[in-house]
Amino acid sequence: MNYRFDWSVLWSGQTGALLLQGIETTLELSLIGWLIAVVLGVVSGALRTLPIPPLRWLAAGYVEFFRNVPLLVWMFVWYFAVPPLLPQAFQDFLLDHGVEFWAGVFALGVYHGARFAEVIRSGISAIPRTQFEAAASTGLTIAQTYRLVILPVALRLIVPPATNETLALLKNSSIALTIGVAELTFQVRQIETYTAKAFEALVAGTIIYLILCLAISALSAQIERRVAIPGMITKRTMGEA
Amino acid sequence: MKQFFFLGWIVVCGILAVPISGPAQTTLEKIDKSGVLVIGTRTGSPPFAYVNKNNEWVGFCIDLVEKGILPVLHQKLNKNIKVEKKESAPQTRIPLLTSNAVDLIAETMTDTQSRREQVDFSLTYFATGAQFLVKKGSPIKNIQTIAGKRVAAQQGSTNAKLIRERVPSAKLLEFPDQPAAFQALAQGQVQAYTNDGIQLAGLRAKAPRPDDYAVVGEFFSYEPYGMAMRKNDSDFRQAVNVGLMNAISSGLYFEIYDKWFGAKGEVPYPMTAEIKRFLQMQVVPK
């Protein structure tokens, strides 16, 4: 390969600052998007298991509509199609205050919310029927049953798939660059432009994403260990204590 | 913890493995063997390179390659060479070249000193500068009047960098491609879109209602377009340059220019006498 490597571009000039800004934006985008996704996911995942058909249909409609359209399309919808529907004054305010960031947050949150919903639903389905019956026989309402009995258990069961979803969300946040959000991948491309060092910039981006994701994995492995319900989850892989 | 160290090692080894180079093969040898010249160009950059209404991938750059450079390769290699087109973007074009995926970048790529550290350029085949595309009647007239305004630019372009340095108060929004940036302008997400003047003229000509838009401002940058090639491959570079020089001196270049930028072309953009002279002076004697 006819290419001269020069790794110093990664810390000389403004490159370091660009990368840090990118990491910050990626984390903000992912964190707020994640919070939205979890709230939407828990609510609609729970609704999909209720014995009340209209609520079930509503939640199913949300899940199928949002998870079956590509995230890239949602980014464009939230950025280009939603603001014109708002009142003019509010629209101008948004346009002057980073509407692309919020469009990215909502696109990520609502899309991944639909995917989280399925994770939560599978967690709830994994809980034995007897738990619902026991809760009902002690006089709990449906809302109380979910809040006090079912969800606390379901949330502890779904840590591994939820981690998967979280990692996917973090990496999908890079799609926000299509609507001009200056996140990590955007900055990596920026560095390529300024320095013409494409490989160095890409390797830096790769390593940063890897570190962020490994940190999330490590954190959720801790959580998984802490919240595991003895007797409900089979022991972790043999040899790993 | 063990598995983390292991992963770390994989990453480190991966990085160290990259610079190991394969057997050197010149671009001419590669073209001779495959019978194909692979060019990296654009699908959405009228009239330089774009997909037209009949779904054909055409443009000024593509004509220069097919009519100007290809005959030189024919002669040099003494065989028929086909052109294969691949989509390239500002972020991918240098890696496409260095990884041998394409042999020549023929699109609106500005020749710069920092890029010359990585790739070699042909002679300048087009010269333009940055301007603004705005909606008719916009208060934005030039770079002096964009302070505090929302301005779109193309990611990876030299113009975005210039705006950031010269007018830090402008709210700069960068989009990966022309259509997204134009959509943002059409919808009012941004008040102006900056790019090379000729590209803005092309975008305006392709707009549903061209009269609603105007290209404004004097050039605030100098953007000489060159075709990029792998570094240190002077035989191929010579072939490309001879192709371009022959086209200019035989008048073929100006015929192609007229086809795309003439009064009846896709984007009417008359050539100034200054530019014509500049092109002709790049031609060295045979």
Please give the mean pLDDT across all residues of chain B: 88
Where do we find the tokens 């913890």? Answer: B1
B198 and B245 belong to one structural domain: no
Among the three residues B221, B246, B271, which one is the final residue of a domain in this structure? Answer: B221
Q: Select the residue of A5, A80, A195 nearest B19 (Cβ to Cβ).
A: A5
B114 and B235 belong to one structural domain: yes
Report if residue B16 sits inside a domain: no
Does an H or E element contain B16, and which?
helix B2-17
B206 and B230 belong to one structural domain: no
Comparing A9-13, A117-121, B236-240, B249-253, the range with the smallest average pLDDT is A9-13
Q: What is the CATH number of the domain that holds B88?
A: 3.40.190.10
Residue A210 touches partner B, C-beta closer than 8 Å: yes
Q: Give A42-86 pLDDT, tens digit per residue.
A: 999 999 999 899 999 999 999 999 999 999 999 999 999 998 888
B206 and B91 belong to one structural domain: no
Please answer whether residues B60 and B108 qualify as being in contact, where contact means their C-beta atoms are separated by less than 8 angstroms.
Answer: no
B137 and B183 belong to one structural domain: yes
Please answer whether residues A183 and A151 qualify as being in contact, where contact means their C-beta atoms are separated by less than 8 angstroms.
Answer: no
B204 and B175 belong to one structural domain: yes
Residues 178-197, chain B, touching A (beta carbon < 8 A) = 180, 183-184, 187-189
d(CA A120, CA A50): 13
Q: How far is CA B66 from CA B83, B88, B111, B119, B258, in A?
A: 7, 18, 21, 22, 16
B33 and B113 belong to one structural domain: yes
pLDDT of B8 reads 54
Helix axis angle for B234-250 and B70-77, nearest 10°, is 130
Among the three residues B221, B238, B262, which one is the final residue of a domain in this structure? Answer: B221
ipTM of the assembly? 0.71
B77 and B203 belong to one structural domain: no
Report if residue B12 sits inside a domain: no
d(CA A12, CA B11): 23
Closest CA to A77 of B155, B183, B153: B183
Alpha-helix runs per DSSP H in chain B: 2-17, 27-34, 60-63, 70-77, 93-98, 113-116, 158-166, 178-187, 197-206, 234-250, 252-261, 273-281
In chain A, residues with a C-beta closer than 8 Å to the C-beta of B92 are: 198
Cβ contacts of A132 within 8 Å, gap of 6 or more: A145, A149, A150
Interface test with A, best of B155, B163, B234 (most A CBs within 10 A): B155
B39 and B115 belong to one structural domain: yes
Number of structural domains in chain B: 2
Report if residue B286 sits inside a domain: no
Whole-prediction pTM value? 0.76
Report if residue B69 sits inside a domain: yes
pLDDT of B127 reads 92
Terminal Cα distance for chain B, rounded: 67
B238 and B97 belong to one structural domain: yes
Residue B24 touches partner A, C-beta closer than 8 Å: yes
Residue A97 touches partner B, C-beta closer than 8 Å: no
Report if residue B31 sits inside a domain: yes
Report if residue B8 sits inside a domain: no
B41 and B110 belong to one structural domain: yes
Q: Give B12-49 pLDDT, tens digit per residue.
A: 545 544 444 455 789 999 999 999 999 999 988 888 99
Residues facing A24 on adjacent strands: none
In chain A, residues with a C-beta closer than 8 Å to the C-beta of B114 are: 194-196
Residues facing B130 on adjacent strands: B196
Closest CA to B49 of B226, B155, B40: B40
**Which range marks the domain in which residue B271 is found?**
23-127+224-281
Report if residue B173 sits inside a domain: yes
Report if residue B235 sits inside a domain: yes
Terminal Cα distance for chain A, rounded: 45
- B47 upstream amide cis, omega within 30 of 0: yes
Domains in chain A with CATH codes: 14-227 (1.10.3720.10)
- Model confidence at B1, pLDDT cuts 50, 70, 90, reads very low
Residue A51 DSSP SS3: coil
AA identity, residue A145: T
Distance (Å) from the alpha carbon of B267 to chain A's nearest alpha carbon = 27
Residue A79 touches partner B, C-beta closer than 8 Å: yes
In chain B, residues with a C-beta closer than 8 Å to the C-beta of A241 are: none
B138 and B269 belong to one structural domain: no
Q: How many C-beta atoms surround the C-beta of residue B52 within 10 A? A: 12
